[in-house]
């Protein structure tokens, strides 16, 4: 008895077509970058449908999320009304993945992000833009009643992995005029025609800068010079669509210091430095219901003797915290050995904003 192996079929020209099983093709494709897959979509109908198959996309997403890369963003004003935006992707070994450059008829402000999509705010009533740099898809979101805003205060952009869903929250509190709008979308949703949902809940305070999403809750730091420290962190529950407050760690907030929030490893982290940014205290919210904070690390920043102005936290893995210092250098902080390791193979790409980025095929519905 012989075994049959469906290796090949004959094409009209008589040549044997190579037929790898769907599983094997998916395995091979899942190892390729989205940009290459966009090219391979043009090979034949079968490949095209395989590459847009939701199951394949999730396989690809799972594999590429194990190997995030660094995305460096830069905006340059050209004349008075247009901005040239460049995005450059490098992996941690310094290999160049791709560049994506486009021109917009507005200024831009980048928002923190660390998934497949990048979100930023345009000026002059242009509202929000969402971009997948891997596939070079860019969409200007429909306007919102509150979109003619100029700052990022009270905005938040997040990703819910379980549902493969992105969420953008736009809340504003100015002179008792408070607005909160939410937009949520999944893969393939036609974003340019998508609509905002106006939420009844009233944002109780002015919020400072962009919020972060941790398990269905967005968190912001409250804006103001003098805190009533009990209500210094404001939350927005995405399911209940309501605002709340989170008690910060005791006796921590000082008015002149630099404070920021980040989502790392599925938890909310609070980073705080005094006015001179000589040290940085790092807390993690261990239990969000009982506001149990644990002070995990204190970093001595004296090594940066040139005077740090701003630190943004990009990642925390394998005992190291990745931070962007003044948009000039990237440093890994080793929490056990209490030392810094500079990421030094960045090929001198200049940047004004850096994010951790995963390659992916998330579609914004343009094609």
Partner 1 sequence: MASSTTGEKKILTLKGGDNEEFILEESLVLQSELLKNMVKEERVSSIPLPSIKSKTLVKIIEYLKKHAELTPSNKEEFKNFEKEFVNVVLEELLDITVAVNYLKINGLLEFCCQAVADRIKDKSVEAVRKIFRIESDFTPEEESEFRKETPEAFEGDLDDTTN
Tell me which residues touch partner 1 (CB under 8 A): 1-7, 11-13, 15-21, 23-24, 27-29, 31-33, 36, 38-40, 42-47, 367
The CB-of-367 to partner 1 minimum distance in angstroms stands at 8
The CB-of-46 to partner 1 minimum distance in angstroms stands at 8
Whichever of 7 and 347 has its CB closer to partner 1, that residue is 7
Whichever of 46 and 298 has its CB closer to partner 1, that residue is 46
CA distance 51 to 117: 19
Whichever of 15 and 302 has its CB closer to partner 1, that residue is 15
Whichever of 44 and 78 has its CB closer to partner 1, that residue is 44
Interacting residues of 217 by C-beta distance below 8 A, sequence separation 6+: 235, 236, 237, 238, 288
The CB-of-5 to partner 1 minimum distance in angstroms stands at 3
The CB-of-45 to partner 1 minimum distance in angstroms stands at 5
The CB-of-124 to partner 1 minimum distance in angstroms stands at 29
Whichever of 31 and 347 has its CB closer to partner 1, that residue is 31
| Cβ atoms 137, 82 nearer than 8 A | no
DSSP 59: H
The CB-of-123 to partner 1 minimum distance in angstroms stands at 30
Whichever of 98 and 205 has its CB closer to partner 1, that residue is 98
Contacts for 169-176: CB closer than 8 Å, 24+ residues apart: 169/211, 169/218, 169/236, 169/238, 170/128, 170/144, 170/146, 170/196, 171/203, 171/207, 171/236, 172/146, 172/203, 173/203, 173/204, 173/205, 173/206, 173/207, 174/206
Q: Would you call 336 helix, strand, or coil by DSSP?
A: coil
CA distance 110 to 120: 4
CA distance 267 to 261: 10
């Amino acid at each position: 008895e012989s075994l049959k192996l469906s290796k090949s079929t004959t094409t009209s020209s008589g040549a044997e077509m190579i037929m790898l099983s769907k599983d094997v093709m998916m395995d091979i494709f899942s190892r390729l970058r989205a940009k290459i897959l966009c090219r391979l979509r043009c090979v034949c109908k079968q490949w095209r449908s395989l590459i847009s198959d939701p199951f394949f996309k999730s396989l690809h997403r799972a594999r590429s999320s194990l190997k995030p890369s660094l995305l460096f963003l830069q905006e340059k004003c050209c004349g008075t009304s247009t901005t040239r935006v460049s995005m450059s992707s490098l992996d941690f070994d310094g290999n160049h993945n791709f560049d994506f450059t486009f021109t917009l008829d507005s200024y831009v402000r980048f928002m923190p992000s660390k998934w497949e999509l990048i979100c930023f705010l345009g000026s002059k009533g242009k509202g929000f833009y969402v971009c997948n740099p891997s596939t070079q898809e860019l969409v200007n979101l429909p306007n919102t009643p509150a979109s003619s805003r100029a700052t990022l205060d009270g905005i938040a952009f997040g990703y819910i992995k379980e549902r493969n869903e992105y969420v953008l929250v736009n809340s504003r509190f100015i002179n008792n005029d408070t607005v909160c709008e939410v937009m949520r979308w999944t893969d393939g949703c036609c974003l340019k025609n998508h609509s905002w949902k106006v939420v009844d809940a009233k944002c109780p305070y002015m919020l400072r800068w962009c919020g972060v999403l941790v398990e269905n809750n967005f968190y912001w730091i409250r804006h103001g010079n003098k805190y009533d420290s009990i209500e210094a962190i404001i939350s927005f529950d995405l399911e209940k669509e309501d605002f709340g407050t989170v008690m910060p760690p005791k006796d921590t907030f000082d008015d002149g210091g630099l404070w920021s929030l980040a989502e790392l490893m599925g938890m909310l982290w609070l980073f705080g430095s005094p006015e001179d940014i000589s040290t940085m205290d790092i807390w993690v919210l261990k239990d969000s219901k009982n506001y149990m904070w644990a002070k995990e690390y204190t970093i001595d920043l004296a090594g940066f003797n040139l005077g740090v102005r701003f630190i943004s936290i990009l990642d925390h893995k394998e005992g190291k915290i990745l931070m962007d210092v003044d948009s000039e250098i990237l440093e890994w902080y080793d929490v056990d050995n209490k030392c810094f390791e500079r990421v030094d193979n960045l090929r001198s790409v200049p940047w004004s904003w850096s994010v951790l980025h995963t390659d992916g095929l998330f579609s914004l519905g343009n094609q």
